[in-house]
């Protein structure tokens, strides 16, 4: 089985979600093909206040994850995963939901 994990902050910090992705992917890789897609730079989340832009996922951090997810679709198309793990929510969940409907992949939203 081909399994893909998308986590924008995977290479930047080591918190709960990053540990979850690391542990689960390591264990699943024993019997499956696994790919972890993370941002090319060491990105760290910033503390954000709840503003109107953030409520509609239009703040800079949310948009950064959205554009990165769109760029990651090429890697996903090449890998052809059967299961996709979306870990960053908001735009990423929406974009990957559409991707999975078009490709027949199963979507798991964690977080």
**pLDDT one-digit tens code per residue, 22-77:** 999 999 999 999 999 988 776 666 666 778 888 888 888 889 999 999 999 999 99
Cβ neighbours of residue 59 under 8 Å, at least 6 residues apart? 48, 51, 53
* Rounded Cα–Cα distance for residues 11 and 91 (Å): 20
pLDDT for 1 equals 96
Q: Is the pTM of this model over 0.95?
A: no
Region of poorest pLDDT, from 4-18, 70-84, 96-110: 4-18
Which token pair is 81? 């995963």
């Amino acid at each position: 089985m081909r399994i893909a994990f998308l986590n924008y902050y995977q290479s930047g910090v080591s918190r709960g979600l990053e540990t979850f992705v690391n542990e689960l992917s390591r264990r699943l890789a024993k019997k499956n093909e696994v790919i972890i897609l993370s941002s090319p730079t060491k990105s760290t989340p910033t503390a954000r206040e709840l503003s109107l832009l953030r409520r509609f996922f239009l703040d800079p951090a949310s948009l950064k994850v959205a554009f990165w997810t769109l760029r990651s679709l090429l890697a996903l198309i090449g890998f052809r995963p059967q299961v996709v793990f979306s870990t960053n929510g908001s735009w990423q969940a929406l974009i990957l939901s559409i991707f999975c409907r078009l490709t027949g992949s199963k979507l798991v939203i964690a977080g």
